[in-house]
Amino acid sequence: MPRAASPISCAHPLRASRLCASLVCAALPCAAVPAPPSTSPPIVMPQPETSAAASAPSAPAGCLPSGNGYLKARIRGALNLDIDWRNADIECDGGPRPDGSGIRLAFAGPRRADGHRLRLVFGVSAVREGGNGRSLPTNVTVIVEGAQRLYTTRGEDHCTVDTLNQQRLRAPGVPRKYRVVARGFCVAPASTLNNAERILISSFDFAGDAVFGDDAIR
């Protein structure tokens, strides 16, 4: 003889099923039954961590967005370097000198194997926004970041920019920006503050940027 079907219990919410609901509603008038209250707090799935840098649009890598920034320099003495940095290797910035006597441009190269990073700063006199020039007195500072070493020419009669040209760049959100191309040389060394070490920058050649206006580098 066939076995009688086992009664299906719908009492416990975790054992309820659509089959239970259909059988019960087939025998009795059904009304909407509210779901039983949960005995545990709802599970909230964690959201992925994001940073401002990850969510913000990425800035162009390197010195100039156009890709034509660079720095070349020959250094001898306490530092023995032949620098040939391309646009993607460097960070650059520039603007008017604090006293308004010219422009200042800085170039930071890639981090070296020893963890140090070299930064060169050129303070060029007698040139203004958008102007070109020749035989411009220049002060040069070389900083070895991470090693607490700084070399400076301490005067504008040690180095000269042979030629300098500025080309206006159109950049959103920047008041007035120029690509600055220059080359020059030094005839006297740059030294540390205690004169313990000296370097001679016999030649330099660069293309960077200078910003003028309310957001200019000071």
pLDDT of amino acid 83:
98
- Give me the pLDDT at residue 213, please: 83
Other CB atoms within 10 A of residue 73 CB: 24
**Nearest Cα residue to 75 out of 215, 204, 208, 205:** 204
The answer to whether 142 touches 199, Cβ cutoff 8 Å, is yes
Give every residue of the chain whose pLDDT is below 50, as ranges. Answer: 1-33, 38, 42-60, 215, 217-218
Distances (CA, A) of 34 to 9, 13, 23: 18, 11, 18
Count of domains observed in the chain? 1
- Check if the beta carbon of residue 113 is closer than 8 Å to that of residue 141: no
Write down the pLDDT at residue 214: 63
Q: Give the separation between CA 151 and CA 80, rounded to whole angstroms.
A: 13
Look at residue 26 in the predicted model and tell me its pLDDT. Answer: 40
Boundaries of domain holding 188 = 65-212
Tally of CB atoms within 10 A around 109? 19
Which pLDDT does position 15 carry in this prediction? 43
At 63, list the tokens: 């010195």
d(CA 135, CA 153): 17
76 occurs within a structural domain: yes
Shortest CA distance to 103 belongs to which of 133, 80, 128? 128
Q: Is residue 217 domain-resident?
A: no
Determine the Cα–Cα distance for residues 204 and 181; give it in Å rounded to an integer: 11
Q: Is residue 50 part of a domain?
A: no
Q: Note the pLDDT of residue 61.
A: 62
Whether 164 maps to a domain, the answer reads: yes
- Nearby residues of 190 by Cβ (< 8 Å), 6 or more positions away: 140, 141, 142, 151, 152, 153, 154, 158, 198, 199, 200, 201
Q: What pLDDT is recorded for position 32?
A: 47
Prediction pTM value: 0.70
Give a yes or no: residue 192 inside a domain: yes
pLDDT of residue 196: 95
Q: Quick check: is 106 in a domain?
A: yes
Backbone phi, psi, residue 108, to 5°: -115, 125
State how far the Cα of 6 lies from the Cα of 18, in Å rounded to an integer: 17
Q: For residue 23, is it within any domain?
A: no
Q: Is residue 93 part of a domain?
A: yes
